[in-house]
A and B are shown apart, each in its own frame.
Chain A
Amino acid sequence: MANALISAPKTAKRGEAIEIKALIQHPMETGFRPGTNGQIIPRNIIEHFSASWNGEEIFRMTFSPAIAANPFVSFFTVARDSGTVVLRWTGDQDFRVEESVAIVVT
């Protein structure tokens, strides 16, 4: 289930702005649609996404039901120290995925 594609540079120069892109598989069910039996399909969305670099939060966003399935997030950050960027998605029905990438800063 935890199927995600992360793209980040392996190395970066100190002070350089780098782009981190993250795509994750998720149905993003709005909670407004009736299913084939006429009953409303319960909401199942990702609620929060955050990224931290060596434990320090660098990016955070809140998702809404209007965001399409398999959401793609891209953001920029400034490279300071070598380390690990941890990306975290949490949402309905105990959805919890964590992915990390290592970046070497020179």
Chain B
Amino acid sequence: MRRWHLALMLAPVFAASLALAQGGIDKRRSGYDDMSPALRQMEDDETSNPALLFVQAGAALWTQPAGRADKSCADCHGAVDTGMKGVAARYPAIPNGAVKPVDLDGRIELCRTTQQQGAPLAPESADLLALSAYVTYASRGLPISPPADPRLKPFRTEGEVMFKRREGQLNLSCANCHDDNAGKKLGGSLIPQGHPTAYPVYRLEWQTLGSLKRRLRNCIIGVRAEAYPYDAPQYVALELYLMERAKGMKLEGASIRP
């Protein structure tokens, strides 16, 4: 009888070690997993999550006609939860008729200039962030699924090279922190694994919503290198690699981070 109990108690331990031995455990962690319970609660409660303010603003912009064509996003795409579901999970991608990949913000700009025939939105402007937050929010909870387009491969490789290349006065690569030392502390803060699951993100430090590009620029300046201009293709390449690295992880778009 006693032995039976012991076996029952140990069963989960065996199961866990078996799974470990098979190497099937995903060791990737989203920034959400490492946030304090208070912050997680702030994100989960949709009335206390300030990123939702931008989603709400994006919803208003979605149906508002703009540009010389006087068309709104909804005129072509319809409602965001049906028409745009899963879109944010597969960008950056190569748009029809183009040769270079664009990220979600770039895609919105493309629509703005070609379909709506309006002036492009400024990078990191409130309107662009709101629209991208609204579109990303429609894919919330879906797995990140980069497209299998073979034309993306050279760009993705370029991104991987950039991720692993040391640069700046501190002579650090992205991988030095986010692959080799993730989970440890830098100053007082935890080094995350650097998965782009939460973008566009409301960083409490910024007190506003920001794009992945802004985050990348932050890191580039942090290693004391010179950041590329906002429209540089290098960000898209890096983003392509990061999305591939986070493939299958849950998109948490329009969430908060410290």
Contact = CB atoms under 8 A, between A and B. Distances in A.
Nearest to A20: B47
Contact of A5 (B47, B204, B207, B208): B47
Query: Dominant SS at the A interface?
Result: strand
Interface stretch (A10-18, A50-58, A65-73): A65-73
Interface in B157-205: 204
Contact of A68 (B47, B48, B207): B207
A21 B57 contact: no
B36 interface: no
A72 B53 contact: no
Contacts of B53: 3-5, 23-25, 70
Contact of B207 (A7, A69, A72, A74): A69
A68 B48 CA distance: 13
Query: Dominant SS at the B interface?
Result: loop
A69 B47 contact: no
Interface string A50-94: 000000000000000000111010100000000000000000000
Interface of B: 45-50, 52-53, 56-57, 204, 207-208
A3 B204 contact: no
Nearest to A8: B47
B49 to A, nearest CB: 8
4 nearest A-B pairs in the assembled complex, by CB-CB distance: A7-B47, A69-B207, A70-B50, A25-B53
Contacts of B48: 21, 23, 72, 74
A72 B57 contact: no
B207 A23 contact: no
Contacts of A69: 50, 207-208
Contacts of A97: none
B208 A21 contact: no
A70 B47 contact: no
A68 B204 contact: yes
B92 to A, nearest CB: 29
A25 B208 CA distance: 10
A104 interface: no
Interface in A16-64: 21-25, 27-28
A6 B207 contact: no
B56 to A, nearest CB: 6
Contacts of B208: 69-70
28 contacts: A3-B53, A3-B56, A4-B53, A5-B46, A5-B52, A5-B53, A6-B47, A7-B46, A7-B47, A21-B45, A21-B47, A23-B47, A23-B48, A23-B49, A23-B50, A23-B53, A24-B53, A25-B57, A27-B207, A68-B204, A68-B207, A69-B50, A69-B207, A70-B50, A70-B53, A70-B207, A70-B208, A72-B48
A3 B47 contact: no
Given A25-B57, A69-B207, A72-B48, 14 more contacts: A3-B53, A5-B46, A5-B47, A5-B52, A7-B47, A23-B48, A23-B49, A23-B52, A27-B207, A28-B207, A68-B204, A69-B208, A70-B207, A70-B208
